[in-house]
A and B are shown apart, each in its own frame.
Chain A
Amino acid sequence: MNPAWRTLSAKERILCVLKYIFLTICVIVAIFPIAWVIMSSFKTNAEILSNGIGLPSSFSLTGYVQALAISPILKYFMNSVIVAVVATAANVFFLAMAAYVFARCQFRFKNALYMLLSLSLVIPMTALLNPVYIVVNGMGLADTKTGLILVYTALNLPMSLLILRGTFLSIPKSLEEAAYVDGAGFFRTFIQIMMPCAKGGLASAAVLAFLNNWNEFTFALVLTSGQEARTLPLSLSYFTSQFSFNYTAMFAAITIAVIPSIAVFAIFQEQVVSSLTAGAVKE
């Protein structure tokens, strides 16, 4: 894509070099935290607390062994995968439906309803705790994955609505009109025409929702009690207590939690970009 280096003027070359310096700094800043975590997972507690940037004195997997021994991390990992994936899929699909209607249809109290739904973005977490606990318990979903899935599907409601409505608004109307002229129904148009066009937005919303679900802590703590529904972020609490700590194991656990989600993100993004550049959105 880049024009060949030798066709560039001196000014453009400088700009190009500056651009890469800037991007390199961004990448270093962004990689630093995860590099630090991975490095710390090989250090002893004393090394972590006495020299934050030093290299580990010896390469040892003790942290990982302890992480697996102290907390049921693999069990939690599987729970997290199920809860995060199902909640993300449900959330994005339901909110795509709502967002499409908000973007395209006219009906009474539309703006008021949209504003009301958006307000959920700023309700303090502490206010949600007790009512949500009562609702989930009342439905008999306490300590179940279904309960967590329900709550997580709702927690990402405002964010997905925001992103997806924007996406649908930016898709040309002419596409659907053509479909209607061809005799396609409302639902079919939505599924077959609009959803593919909105792939970029859907993917973005899904990524954000997934990461939020993957890292959510408070509701996972309050709504679960047994090992059947507990998720990964809870396992991190196993490593620090008031007067005892095991940082090595904790950073090993964080590594175990983070690496798969980076992989998922990288693969997912790849899919999205290829679908976008393949011309799916072209008129």
Chain B
Amino acid sequence: MKVKKAWIPIFLAPAVILFLLIYAVPLVMVFATSLCEYKLTSKSITFIGLQNYIDLFKDPAFHTAFTNTIIWILIHCILHVAMGCLIALLLYKKPRGWKFIRTAYMVPNIISNAAMGMIFVNIFNPQFGVVNSILKMVGLEELTHNWLMDTTTAFPSVTMVWFLFAGYTTTLILAQALSVDESVLEAARVDGATNFQIDIFIMLPLLKKIIGTTMVMAATYMLQMFDLIYITTNGGPGKTTTNLPLLLYGVFKSENNYGYANTIGVMIIVLGAIVMVAINKALKVNEEDY
């Protein structure tokens, strides 16, 4: 297998070069400057040790943003992926119209986030939005809210902007489910297993890896979630819907404080690493099947 060894660096080279060009410098910069006083307007960068971290842990806005981020990751990793998985399990059996359903369900993911944000601003509009209009129509006027701007409803309302649209997850899981050998399922059917039993005991274990992948994707999607929140609530009212990227963006863009912004960046990267390792460990994604 000596020939094989020689191929390894060649196969890795393009990916590694891309990484070095685009990601390596920023990655080092984020960690390095998080230890510095570094603003857009400052002419030099001064080392200040852990001061940024101390300030960050004292910052109440960080506590809110951190908690919100964690809650959103959990919701997305568990409920959102479960929904995408359920739809994929319904569709791989190819019920009538499944191709249409599959394509239709992906459509919201094709629309850019900027447009989706604007659509939901309209849906939740307190005056003429769809939600309040329907509530009024069915005589539940007392339930109408200013959904995105009321502290009690803002968080769940913003969540709805992305929660229902599990198109990516469904597409990935479905592609995997469709490639499962038909004979395996047929054998189970001959043994008298119901559809439900096949899904739970045969299909799900086979899909474990891809589910793990979608969970990592879901988690990192929420770790980077920015534009949909920015357009719908801009983190408000107060800090109710602020998450880490939004907090970072504010510090970066309006305060021009790059050092402090990168401290938040480090927190995002560390949180991301923890979540990835946790999901991989929990679902044993790294192990080989055969």
A in complex with B = yes
A residues with a Cβ closer than 8 A to B are 1-2, 19-20, 22-23, 26-27, 29-31, 33-34, 36-37, 48, 50-53, 94-95, 97-98, 100-101, 103, 105, 107, 113, 115-128, 131-132, 135, 150-151, 153-155, 157-159, 161-163, 166-167, 169-170, 172-174, 185-187, 190, 200-201, 203-204, 207-208, 211, 214-215, 217, 233, 236, 251, 254, 257-258, 261-262, 265-266, 269-270, 272-273, 276-277, 281-283
B179 engages A94 (CB within 8 Å): no
Contact between B178 and A276 (Cβ–Cβ < 8 Å)?
Answer: yes
- A120: min CB distance to chain B, Å: 4
- Residue of A whose beta carbon sits closest to that of B168: A208
Which residues of chain A are near B252, meaning CB under 8 Å?
126
A89 CA / B171 CA spacing, docked (Å): 19
Contacts of A121 in B (CB 8 A): 216, 220, 272, 276
Indicate if B112 sits at the interface (CB-CB under 8 A). Answer: yes
Closest CB in chain A relative to B251 CB, distance in Å:
9
The answer to whether A37 and B27 have CB atoms under 8 Å apart is: no
Of the candidates B103, B108, B175, B262, which one forms a contact with A33 in the assembled complex, judged by CB atoms under 8 Å apart? B108
B235 contacts partner chain A, Cβ-Cβ < 8 Å = no
Stretch at the interface among B43-51, B74-82, B140-148, B205-213: B205-213
Bound-state CA distance A71–B248 (Å) is 32
Which residue in A31, A174, A204, A262 is a CB contact (below 8 Å) of B290? A174
Given contacts A98-B12, A172-B290, A276-B179, contact A166 B104 (CB under 8 A): no
Closest A residue, CB atoms, query B180: A281
A114 to chain B, nearest CB (A): 9
**Chain A residues near B18 (CB-CB < 8 A):** 94, 153-154, 157
- The distance from the CB of A156 to the nearest CB of chain B, in whole angstroms, is 10
What are the residues of chain B within 8 A of A120 when measuring CB–CB?
A: 19, 22-23, 27
Q: Can you name 19 A-B residue pairings with CB atoms under 8 Å?
A: A22-B90, A23-B95, A27-B104, A27-B105, A98-B14, A121-B220, A122-B224, A122-B268, A128-B22, A154-B22, A157-B23, A172-B289, A200-B175, A200-B178, A215-B112, A254-B111, A269-B102, A272-B175, A281-B179
- Evaluate contact between B111 and A37: CB separation under 8 angstroms: yes
| Structural contact, A52 and B19, CB atoms closer than 8 A | no
**Total count of chain B residues near the partner, CB < 8 A:** 92
Task: Decide if B228 is an interface residue (CB 8 Å cutoff).
Answer: no
Do B19 and A30 have beta carbons less than 8 Å apart? no
A sample of 4 more A-B contacts (CB under 8 A), given A27-B100, A30-B105, is A30-B108, A101-B11, A204-B172, A276-B179
B7 to chain A, nearest CB (A): 4
B94 at interface by CB-CB < 8 Å: yes
Alpha-carbon distance between A127 and B27 when the two chains are bound, in angstroms? 8
Scoring B22, B27, B90, B100 by chain A CB atoms within 10 A of each residue's CB, the highest score goes to B22
Within 8 Å CB of A113, what residues of B? 12, 16
Rounded to whole angstroms, the CA-CA distance of A52 and B27 in the bound complex is 43
| CB-contact partner of B122 in A36, A124, A128, A150, under 8 A | A36
Name the residue on A nearest B103 (C-beta): A266
Residues of chain A with a CB closer than 8 A to B165's CB: 29-30
Q: Which of A29, A107, A167, A262 contacts B110 (CB 8 A)?
A: A262
Q: Quick one: which of A26, A50, A167 contacts B101, CB cutoff 8 A?
A: A26
Q: Is B188 an interface residue (CB 8 A)?
A: no
Contact A115 B273, beta carbon cutoff 8 Å: yes
